[in-house]
Structure 1
Amino acid sequence: MKKHVYTLIFILCILISGGSVQAAYSHIAVTDYQITPSVLMPEEKGIVTVTLSNTKTSVDTIPASVETGTNDEISESTGVFPSPVIDSVFLNGKKDIDVLAGNGQFEGQIGPGQSVQISFVIKAPPANGIYFAELLIRLRNQESIKYPIAVNVNTPISAVRQPALILSQSSSGPIRPGESFPVRISLTNRGVSQAKDITVRVKETGTSIAPLQTNAFHIEKLKQGEESSGEITFNTDKNVNPGIHKIPIEILYTTPDKGEIGTSETLSLDIRGEADVSLMSIETDPSRIMKNTPFDLVIRLDNSGTGDAEAVRAWITLPFLGNKEAFIGRIEPHNDAPAVFILDSGESGEYPYTLHVSYQDDWGEHERTENLTLTVQSPPDNTSSIILGILLLIGGFLGYRMWTRRGDV
């Protein structure tokens, strides 16, 4: 009696050990699936994409206690357990969902640490609801794997709980070309799950606007409703064009169910050019101004700033008749324009006067003044010249008379 009991125990041990080998060395699993679109309309077609993975990261060697001849899955020549063989992958719509394509498209092996994606074309049933298809994976000499797949047909139910990171920014205000300025970037999690290992990075911005020291910052985690922020300092080129500049921002983070996710946002930077209008030169026509004569006064104004000078106007305080105010209009950066005054001079002398210049730019209205002097000259005094001329004429006449009378003597 004991002999039969021992024999039965021995046979059970062999069967159990053989079954445990198959269970221990089969690592095929469904690691993800996606339905496109995520919510189907009745009788709409969609695609189900399933990810099959071999979760084993390395090749297992055969234990010494296992006989290689007892299991087809053990390679006697290499001494390792090869990857399980997949005979077929089949999606069963359960009479509700029509599987139009994809069944039986894959068979073979998936290596350790590797994955494969398999797609099925389905057609939704005519009625709204949540339907469950069944994915059947047949493994050679092992138990088959069954995995349910939920299909949403026009039902307002979301099965995925994801974070939603909302970006906002704050800075010190508009920026002048050539300045460095900090921008504080805030992230708020408005979703329904936690985001971890968050990296906020500035993408390529070109040479006109670029991060000064670092182009990224890190946030460890953000729970639902939490907010955190970091600061990035930007540097601008003096020749950057004024206007609203969009700076691309990349946000990378991980979630509990979807792994690493990347999204793109933008910062808006308000670059405002600043005009700088100043006196460049003064000319008069004629170049020497005589008293009580008309003349033109031409004052050239130069814009050496980084923005347009608008509504440029100049006026002077000379006590002469004529137009003493000139409207110039716009002067672009690194350009100049004349202010022309047509005047009648007064008495000779030195005339101190003030030049007023007003203009507008993106930063508001500006005015500057220059203290100048205009010289009005008197005509030259020709009395001495006239007397000298008369004397010369008299002398010449007397000389001529004396010369003509010499012959009469």
Structure 2
Amino acid sequence: MNRNNLRRILIAACIVCALILSGTGAVSAANQSTFVITDFSMYPQSLMPGDSGIITVTLRNTGSTFVPVNQIFIKDSDGIKSTVTPYQNPIGGVGAGDTFTLSLPVISKGKTGTFYPVLYVDFDGNSGNYLKYPFAVIVDDKSIVISVTGRPDVFEPDTTQTVALTIGNLRMNAIEAVEISASGTGVTSKQTSLFLGTIDANKAANGTLSVSTAEETKEVTFDVRYRNGPAWHTESITIPLESGVSKTGAELIVNNIEVKNTGSSYTVIGDVNNAGLTTAKALVVTTEGVTKTGLYPSYVVGSLDEDGLSEFEVTFSNPADNKVTLVFTYKDVNGNTYTQKQEVPTTSAVTESQTSGGSNPVAAVLIVIVILVILAGGFAAWKKGKIFARK
């Protein structure tokens, strides 16, 4: 064999190898037909250990004649196996210039790394006319990260509290159907779950979940369920609770209280200040232990911001035991209702006439004394001739 013939053989061998590695099928000399892979994809892009995935491949007959297809299968590798037996005569064959698309399932054996199973398309089953296509499958154990980005300082029993969460996707592919739910002893939620949907690779999504806890609740667990391709996964984070009264809630301070007695009813006037760190919403002032009557049986303040100040006025009658209880009711941002009470004696009530000054005997006496002093001084000055000369 001369040098030129050897060179031609080596070039032909290199071309055949290149065709196989690039996904181009072998050429049948008998029917002058060639198969090539025009599209290849894997869902999801990477697997987690034990996950299953779907390989979708599109092949094209670039030849001039019909080609029968005997079987299509995936040959297992070290970390990947096929979950189906070879497809026997799956499509019959492919005509000249036609394409066909086929999906095949694979599953991870549990190892991590990059593996290379091989797709085989056997055309006649006898002469060795087949397409061989190795492909890469990545298996990694990267999952998600769950961060608590907002929570109350304490969880008051039987009240609704809001917890803010951030879900970060550490995988190289998107995760789907992301859903957050809360669980634990005595933990309830009006939301059965919070649906976030799809989170792209190396991205994050934020969400809030409102939960209510009981006296015996010691911790709350937030479960994040998601799909990596067709496989479901769940990751969780548990936060310990501190029970008690919120240190950042509204705190009402009542000052400048004045009680008036109109004869048939009483009126309490005063100032209410919010010395807390959050707004007292829907603040209403009313009374307890008396008969609500008059113009203001209840007084609506509305929203009272932190450091806010508002006047109020309530009217009532028939106080028992010479006292009245002022009742301050308000809500927080989650709709929880809080009540604060303050007892005020009615024995020091000022009557309406005393307020106007019309019948105060002490004031009347003082006025008479002042007038008499003035008159006496004037009379003395007149006698001495200092004001009007006497004739």
Rg larger for? 1
The alignment's TM-score, normalised by the length of structure 2, stands at 0.34
